[in-house]
């Protein structure tokens, strides 16, 4: 009798933009695995680049029959998304058994509905592209809206930064005892903040925002008790940091003792670094789903980076072994 006709083998790869993150994930996986298991390494995935800007990924080892995890966040430029799509296609054409796209930051997620006539829904389009490329499942973190999971016609393993943020928030709660208050920078973040507040048993402030015109904030009105409170603003994305810093400044004007922020994805475009540096915020906690810009290092004094590498490592091992992941996330 012939055994082991199918080798259930884990193969881990990364595209260029997320190599910094993938290397940390591999280190974490090796700490978690059993001593008798072989060492986990990043497989050799090369990106051949042509003089006109076109590129072509190719695997330098066999992936036949393997469960392939390909790590890549899809923050700008769009080359990052295309690298991921082409890598998935290459893996399927090389006879991988399963291909799981690990997307720590799922770009285009803010295009989740038609908020004005004759516009695109980018989050749905990218979901379709991932399926057409050949992905069998997606693993991502803190989607801009939970309902984006329904855009996919394949399994979505949705991770949350709450697991890693809660330890820090509990320390702040012990430090500030009865004055810690959680805040949403706008009405859209109310559900997220209430989830944290329910777990930590803290009061909530909601910042109601009105705009004079697009990208110009006219007024921010905090709803809830602010005076004498140590406030933590919770959000999923920091982009230009306009809403975040205006909210922080307004909260301090209204008598808050201190204002901090927690956000999963540090998009940080345009004047974001400078705005945060000059704002009332004392600390800004972000994760490493997107790397901080080394060119802006002189403006990063308030930033505290919380790595999600251990969380992704645990979840990759669980998915590989067909184990549930929901028990890992308390919120």
Which positions are catalytic? 209
Strand locations in 160-282 (E): 180-184, 204-213, 216-223, 230-238, 258-266
Phi, psi of 8 (to 5 degrees): -80, 90
Tell me the pairing of strands 258-266 and 230-238: parallel
Three-class SS of residue 196? helix
Report the DSSP beta bridge partners of residue 287.
306
Other CB atoms within 10 A of residue 283 CB: 16
If we measure between CA atoms, which residue out of 225, 217, 215, 213 comes closest to residue 246?
Answer: 217
CA distance 312 to 74: 16
| C-beta of residue 61 within 8 angstroms of C-beta of residue 75 | no
- Main-chain phi, psi angles of 73, to 5 degrees: -80, 150
Instruction: Tell how far CA 154 is from the center of its chain.
Output: 19
Q: Which residues contact 140 (CB under 8 A, 6 or more apart)?
A: 102, 103, 104, 105, 106, 156, 157, 158, 159
The helix/strand/coil state of 279 is: coil
């Amino acid at each position: 009798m012939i055994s082991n006709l199918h080798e259930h083998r884990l193969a881990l790869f990364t595209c260029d933009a997320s190599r910094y993150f993938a290397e940390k994930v591999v280190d974490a996986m090796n700490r978690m695995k059993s001593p008798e298991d072989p060492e986990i390494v990043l497989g050799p995935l090369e990106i051949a680049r042509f003089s006109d800007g076109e590129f072509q990924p190719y695997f330098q080892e066999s992936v036949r029959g393997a469960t392939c995890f390909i790590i890549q966040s899809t923050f700008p430029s769009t080359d990052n998304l295309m690298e991921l799509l082409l890598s998935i296609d290459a893996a399927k054409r090389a006879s991988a058994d399963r291909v799981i796209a690990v997307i720590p930051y799922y770009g285009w997620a803010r295009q989740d509905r038609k908020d004005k006539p004759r516009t695109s829904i980018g989050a749905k389009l990218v979901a379709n592209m991932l399926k057409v490329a050949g992905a069998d499942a997606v693993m991502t973190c803190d989607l801009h809206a939970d309902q984006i999971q329904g855009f996919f016609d394949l399994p979505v393993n949705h991770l949350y930064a709450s697991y890693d943020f809660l330890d820090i928030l509990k320390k702040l709660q012990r430090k500030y005892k009865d004055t810690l208050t959680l805040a949403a920078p706008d009405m859209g973040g109310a559900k997220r903040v209430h989830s944290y507040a329910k777990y930590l048993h803290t009061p909530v402030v909601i910042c109601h925002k009105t705009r004079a015109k697009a990208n110009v904030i006219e007024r921010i009105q905090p709803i809830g008790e602010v005076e004498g409170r140590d406030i933590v603003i919770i959000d999923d994305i920091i982009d230009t940091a306009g809403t975040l810093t205006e909210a922080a400044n307004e909260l301090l004007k209204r008598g808050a003792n201190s204002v901090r922020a927690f956000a999963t994805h540090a998009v940080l475009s345009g004047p974001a670094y400078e705005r945060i540096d000059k704002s009332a915020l004392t600390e800004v906690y972000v994760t490493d789903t997107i790397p901080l810009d080394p060119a802006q290092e002189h403006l990063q004094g308030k930033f505290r980076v919380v790595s999600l590498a251990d969380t992704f490592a645990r979840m990759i091992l669980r998915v590989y072994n067909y184990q549930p992941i929901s028990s890992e996330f308390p919120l």
